[in-house]
Chain A
Amino acid sequence: MSDKERVFRNLGPGVAVFTVAFFISIYYTGLSSSLAIFWLFGLAYGIVIQRSKFCFASAFRDLFLFKRGELMKAIIAGLIIATVGFSIIMYATVGLAKPIDSIKDGIPAHAKVNPVGLQTIMGGIVFGFGMVLSGGCATGTLWRAGEGYSVQWVALIGFILGTIPLAFMWEPIYDGYVSHLPKIWFPEVFGWSGAILLTFFLLGFAYLLVSWWESKAEFKFSHVIERKSKNPKKIIPILKEKYGNIFYQPWPYLVGGLLLGTLNAFEYVFSKPWGVTTAISRWGGWLLLKTGIMHTSNLWPYYTQYKLVENPSLTSGSTLLNLGLIFGAFAMAILAGEFKVRIPTKKIRFAQGFVGGFFMGFGSRLAMGCNIGAFFTAVPSLALAGWVFGPGLAIGAWLGVKALKKLA
């Protein structure tokens, strides 16, 4: 009997792993309910990403490698839904008490509005190159680490280490350059309606650009592989088929994009929007303390500026979010029969993972965010920086594709 028919065979282990996740959330509820909620958000991100195979590295890379844009279009869809959600939240935060289009006194506290400058585009390029080289972006590295990819374990180590040199040299960069740069937030420049319309226009333009680019491919792709239904008539076979569609077949990219955009907006309602790399640099700071390279009495300015060593690593919300993502992907991989410790035969892949991870760590801290914080959260925050970082990712991915082909 093939695996296809025995759809429930991983149900036992899957339920067991999810039960563990449940007890972890109970444990954290005891410490603080917000920690437990971050953990649950992490699980949700992990589940959605694992099921929809939502890979930002592929989205940028495949534009250049295969002229394929299906995944990029799904990201755009996710950005559209997140823009709607974010706009409502930000408007409620700063706009309600004042006449529309007269926001002067600042940006909502947790909106991701970074200063725009050379560090934004350079960070994007370095990050984009790194994610293509290692085979996964910030979320991709976490998700694959949970699925058992040994290269991504190495990439995660590289990622953490990559944040450290940037932290070391951050003070002069910040004081001498970044702190003088403007934080450009569209509602301040164009008013609310202008800002939202501009973001939709840019997203629509990006969608058209991707569609035009796809039409030039020699090889046409259609994402949805026809799922042959046997049109069962009885309840058990129907249940089996539906179960298989959800837990074995990948979800359409579009579903993944829309769910991630929605989750991001919900996370913003709860506390702050989605980010990944702040926690990773926190782990870097923790490593520096544990190895004695840095002392609590003499913290590097970077870690005090961003308050990255105040909490022990395991009791910070952003850390639990990332750990939840890894665990959610792990649990879903168990349920889908996709977990396996994978060790590549070509050992160069480990070097690719480490170097790519290191580049991502460095680039994400330089640009003050990764594919999530500086892009998937920055664009719906109506920040110009997201629109500078995104093209940076594309340039980096294009360079990464050149390297990839050499390393095939």
Chain B
Amino acid sequence: MKEKVIDVRGEICPYPEMKTADGLKEAKKEGVDELVIITDHPPAALLTIPQRLEQSGYKEDENYTVTKKGSDWTFRVKIGR
């Protein structure tokens, strides 16, 4: 299983969202199975990243999960082909 990690901890808006959007495109091209996004920026974790994912056709629990540990959020996205 091929995994790609985007660790944007320490970055604030709009970078987490921009990197997520780029990451989704690249992951498809590179044949990645699971895209992992780690952020500690609440507006990105609670708003912009889930919006990006949902609007790109990924549904929570079905295609991606999000877990919070301390002040870090980890998204695991199953990339469809």
Cross-chain contact of A408 among B15, B50, B71 (Cβ < 8 A): B15
Cross-chain contact of A220 among B11, B18, B50, B55 (Cβ < 8 A): B55
Q: A-side binding surface: helix, strand, loop or mixed?
A: loop
> What separation, in Å, do the CA atoms of A223 and B54 have in the docked complex?
11
B68 interfacial contact with A, CB 8 Å? yes
B46: chain A residues within 8 A (beta carbon): 53, 249-250
B47: chain A residues within 8 A (beta carbon): 53, 223, 225, 250
B51: chain A residues within 8 A (beta carbon): 221-223, 225
> What separation, in Å, do the CA atoms of A152 and B4 have in the docked complex?
30
B9: chain A residues within 8 A (beta carbon): 342, 345
Q: Which residue of B lies closest to A225 (CB)?
A: B50
> Cβ of B40 and Cβ of A408 under 8 Å apart?
no
**Interchain nearest-CB distance for B13 vs A (Å):** 6
Known: A55-B43, A221-B55, A250-B43. A135 touches B13 (CB 8 A): yes
> Cβ of A342 and Cβ of B40 under 8 Å apart?
yes
**Interchain nearest-CB distance for A404 vs B (Å):** 7
> Cβ of A61 and Cβ of B14 under 8 Å apart?
yes
Q: Number of contacting residues on A, CB 8 A?
A: 39
Binary contact readout B8-44 vs A (1 if CB under 8 angstroms, 0 otherwise): 0111111101110000000000000000000011110
A288 interfacial contact with B, CB 8 Å? no
Q: Which residue of B lies closest to A219 (CB)?
A: B55
> Cβ of A62 and Cβ of B68 under 8 Å apart?
no
> Cβ of A144 and Cβ of B10 under 8 Å apart?
no
B2 interfacial contact with A, CB 8 Å? no
B41: chain A residues within 8 A (beta carbon): 342
Interface size class of B (residues with CB under 8 A): 20 to 34
B15: chain A residues within 8 A (beta carbon): 408
> Cβ of B11 and Cβ of A58 under 8 Å apart?
no
| Residues B25-81 near A (CB distance < 8 A) | 40-43, 46-47, 50-51, 54-55, 60, 67-72
Stretch at the interface among A77-85, A333-341, A379-387: A333-341
Q: Which residue of B lies closest to A228 (CB)?
A: B60
> Cβ of B43 and Cβ of A4 under 8 Å apart?
no
> Cβ of B10 and Cβ of A345 under 8 Å apart?
yes
> Cβ of B67 and Cβ of A3 under 8 Å apart?
yes
Cross-chain contact of B71 among A55, A58, A337 (Cβ < 8 A): A337
Give the interface of A toward B (CB within 8 A): 2-4, 53, 55, 57-58, 61-62, 65-66, 135-136, 144, 147, 149, 151, 219-223, 225, 228, 249-250, 336-340, 342-346, 349, 404, 408
**Known pairs A55-B13, A58-B43, A135-B12 / 12 extra A-B pairs, C-beta < 8 Å:** A3-B69, A4-B68, A53-B42, A57-B13, A61-B14, A151-B12, A220-B55, A222-B51, A225-B47, A250-B43, A339-B71, A349-B11
Give the interface of B toward A (CB within 8 A): 9-15, 17-19, 40-43, 46-47, 50-51, 54-55, 60, 67-72
Q: List 16 A-B contacts (CB under 8 A).
A: A3-B67, A53-B47, A55-B13, A57-B13, A58-B43, A61-B14, A66-B17, A135-B13, A222-B51, A225-B51, A250-B46, A336-B42, A337-B70, A345-B9, A345-B10, A349-B10
